[in-house]
Every structure is written in structure tokens, then in C-alpha cells.
Amino acid sequence: MNVMNILIGLLPMIGWGVFPIMTGKFGGKPVNQIIGATYGTLLSAIVVAVAMQTPLLTGKNFLFTFLSGACWSIAQSLVFYAFGEMGVSKTMPVSTGFQLIGTSLWGVVVLGEWPSVTAKLIGFFSIVLIIIGVYLTTYSEKKVSESESSVVKGISLVLIATIGYVGYSAFPQAVSVDSFQAFLPQALGMAVASTIFAFITKSNRQAKPYRSKSTYLNIISGIFFAFAALTYLISSRKDVNGLATGFTLSQMNVIIGTLGGIYILHEGKTHKEMIMVISGLILVVVAGIITAFI
């Protein structure tokens, strides 16, 4: 494994780790958060396209990268709702675990990554570690039925969102386009999907997201997401890290996001819960390191 490729693969963890902390700080409803985040990403993509003078994609190349962004926008909207149900510190490891499993399986089954039997055995062993790690991070000493209900609802939302996240990673792999070229149509797909989301339900329309301060503050969080999205597009190409390894490396953002939720957003944990969270994070990180060297 090329050291430079690994460093490129770790860059998204910064943007994606800071992203949920910033949306939590800026607040607002999921509709405010998703509009701000996607519009911030689109603005960043326009700046990159102009600076790099990248030609616009057309036809199938444009469609698939556009759909990639739309998938992410739908998935992230659901995860914002999950944040409200069980907090950033609990949602992040669950979301990361589900995404690692879904995207790794797609890369192996569809794209033919981890070709040898040994690679598959090691890869699936790491997936088992992820499942155990995610389970540990959801541990709670509270036995209140309402709390349990929120966790179940939050996990269900994240599970559904995983389908969209897999689409976000998988669609760009179906076409051969430069990462910088893919960035703008992907960001456009995100922004269009979030705009539709803003008007599709009565509650979202009543929230008047375009008149809310939190919507515009979340544009800043979108800039951090844009950095992660662009570096991930580069990392996940076959000639760099590939989808399975590139995505796994990027999801080390779970460390920043989870600990940020606890210490910056003040999502309190008991001593025993912290031990379980740290143990779970260690397992997820170890699994990520294992897959990076397959």
C-alpha cells in the first residue's frame, strides 16, 4: 500500500469528522442543516471547477455523478433526523459501521475488490469487528423505554440511509471520470435533492428554511463536507485506493465525530458508557486499518 495514497485516503476524515459537530453547533432542523450543507458544497464545487477549469460532464457521466450526490443528500437528511433521536456521538459510529459494511460489500461483490480468498477472509473479519464495535458504542446504562425507543428509531433511520450512502459511493465508480470533473455535478445533485426536500413536506415548508439563520450558518459546514467529498472522490479511484479501502479510510472520521459529540456538543456519557464507546471506536479503527492494508 502506497503511503501517499493512505494519506490521501485519510484526508476525508477531517472534513467528515468536523461536519456533524458543526451542524450540531449551528443547530436548526434537518431541513436547515441539509440545505446549508449542500449549498455550501455546491459553492465550493463551483470555485474548484473555475479554479481547475474542469470541463462540464455530459450524458451518462453527468447523470451518474448527479445521482451520486442526490443519494447522499437523501441519506444525510435521514441521518440528521437520527442525530435528533440519539445524538451525534451515538449516531456516528452506527452510521459509520453500516456504511463500511455496505460499501465494502459493494466494492467486493460488484467491483471485484479484495480478489483473493485471504483478502476476503481478512476483509470479512474486519466487518465482524465493525459490527461488534458499533454495538458497543450504542450501549446505554439508562433503561428508560423512551430512550430505547429513540435508539431503535435512530438506528432504523441510519439503516435506511445506508442505501443512499452506498449509492453515493457506487455511482461514480460506474463511469470513468476525473475526480475534479465529478465534483460539480455531484454537488449539484446534492443541492437539487435538498431543495426538493425543503418543499416536499408541509412541516419543511412551514419551517421556512430560507429565512432561517441556521440554514446560512450551515453553509460553513458544507465547505468542510466539500473538502471531504473531493478528497474522497480522488481516494476511491481504482488507481489510488479503490472503493472498499478508500471508503474505509475515510470513515475514520468516526473518531472526530463521536468524541466531538461528547466533548464539544456535551452529549453526556457515564463512566461505563465512555469505556464502551472507546472500546467500540478502537474496534472500528482497527478494522479500518486492517482493510487499508489488504
pLDDT per residue over 115-133, tens digit each?
A: 788 888 888 888 788 778 8
* pLDDT tens per residue across span 49-98: 999 888 888 899 999 999 999 999 999 999 999 988 888 878 888 887 78
Question: What are the residue boundaries of the structural domains of the chain, listed by start?
Answer: 1-291
Tell me how far apart the alpha carbons of residues 136 and 131 are, in angstroms, rounded to a whole number: 9
**32 to each of 137, 169, 285, how far by Cα in Å?**
28, 24, 31
The C-alpha atoms of residue 268 and residue 47 are separated, in whole angstroms, by 39
Residue 169: name the closest of 119, 107, 116 by CA. 107
Residue 210 pLDDT class (50, 70, 90 cuts):
very high
Amino acid 190: pLDDT: 96
Q: Report which of 235, 229, 204, 167 is spatially closest to residue 10, judged by C-alpha positions.
A: 235
**Burial (0-12, 13-18, 19+ Cβ within 10 Å), 43:** middle
Claim: this prediction has a pTM higher than 0.85: no
